[in-house]
């Protein structure tokens, strides 16, 4: 898609933040269906979580087609509000989901000052295979002031692994997943690339 527009999430209206949350929810159905099968509820629950200065979106004709976030060793791309989780999902379920997502997306990253971590890379199902994720990753690599980018991908996401390898990422570490049957994958792959 040659005519994609890439914008920082902080530069767009709230309707596009909502679309971003929708694409995020649609892109990770295995993870989010465990929380709720009601997509509008999930979108309302997650809209607040995007650090708007740390997320970029790909747009075409006023539609968000993809997103990518980046974290540093000082700031994560997502930040969750327990009160919103409780409000949208109920007290107990909201607390459990908040704890699960916080442990995944808010724990401090053990990376250097000159590194960033690409995360929450997502493409709308209708736009997959059309270069949206490639465009977003290249945009960050060209515009962020870091020496190296790291990302995490699970072993059964073979399309993403192929894409990242095609872009020049290489695996530098693998970690076995505890409770792999419940998680739906066996290993987490950590990949990196030089940006400068």
| 58: alpha, beta or left? (left if phi > 0; alpha if psi -120 to 50) | beta
> Given this model, what pLDDT does residue 1 score?
66
Instruction: Note whether 79 and 51 are within 8 A (CB).
Output: yes
Q: Which two tokens stand for residue 172?
A: 């530098």
pLDDT digits (tens, 9 = 90+) for 6-47: 999 999 999 999 999 999 999 988 888 878 889 999 999 999
Provide the whole-model pTM. 0.93
Q: What is the span of the domain harbouring residue 177?
A: 5-194
Strand order in the sheet with 5-8: 5-8, 55-60, 63-71, 115-123, 148-154, 187-194, 170-176
pLDDT tens string 96-130: 999 989 988 888 888 999 999 999 999 999 999 99
Query: Considering only CA atoms, which of 74, 82, 79, 78 is closest in space to residue 108?
Result: 74
Q: What CATH code is carried by the domain that includes residue 100?
A: 3.40.630.30
Give the Cα separation of 121 and 160 in Å (integer): 10
Quote the number of domains for the chain.
1
3-state secondary structure of 2: coil
**Exposed, middle or buried: residue 158 (CB in 10 Å: 0-12, 13-18, 19+)?**
exposed
Q: Which residues contact 76 (CB under 8 A, 6 or more apart)?
A: 51, 54, 105, 106, 108, 109
Rounded Cα distance between 143 and 162, Å, is: 23
**Mean pLDDT rounded to a whole number for the chain:** 93
- Helix H or strand E encompassing 71: strand 63-71
User: Is the pLDDT confidence value at 88 over 80?
Assistant: yes
Distance of CA 178 to the CA centre of its chain: 21
């Amino acid at each position: 898609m040659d005519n994609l527009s890439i914008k920082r999430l902080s530069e767009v209206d709230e309707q596009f933040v909502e679309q971003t949350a929708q694409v995020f929810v649609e892109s990770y159905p295995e993870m989010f269906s465990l929380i709720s099968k009601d997509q509008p509820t999930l979108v309302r629950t997650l809209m607040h979580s995007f650090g708007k200065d740390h997320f970029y979106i790909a747009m075409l004709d006023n539609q968000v087609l993809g997103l990518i976030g980046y974290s540093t060793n000082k700031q994560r791309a997502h930040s969750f509000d327990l009160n919103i989780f409780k409000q949208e999902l109920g007290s107990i379920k909201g607390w459990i989901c908040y704890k699960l997502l916080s442990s995944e997306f808010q724990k401090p990253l053990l990376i250097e000052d000159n590194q960033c971590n690409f995360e929450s890379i997502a493409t709308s199902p209708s736009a997959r295979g059309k270069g949206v994720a490639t465009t977003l990753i290249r945009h960050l690599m060209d515009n962020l002031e870091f020496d190296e980018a790291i990302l995490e991908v699970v072993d059964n996401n073979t399309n993403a692994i192929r894409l990242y390898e095609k872009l020049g990422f290489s695996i530098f570490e693998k970690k076995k997943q505890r409770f792999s049957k419940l998680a739906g994958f066996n290993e987490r792959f950590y990949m990196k690339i030089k940006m400068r």
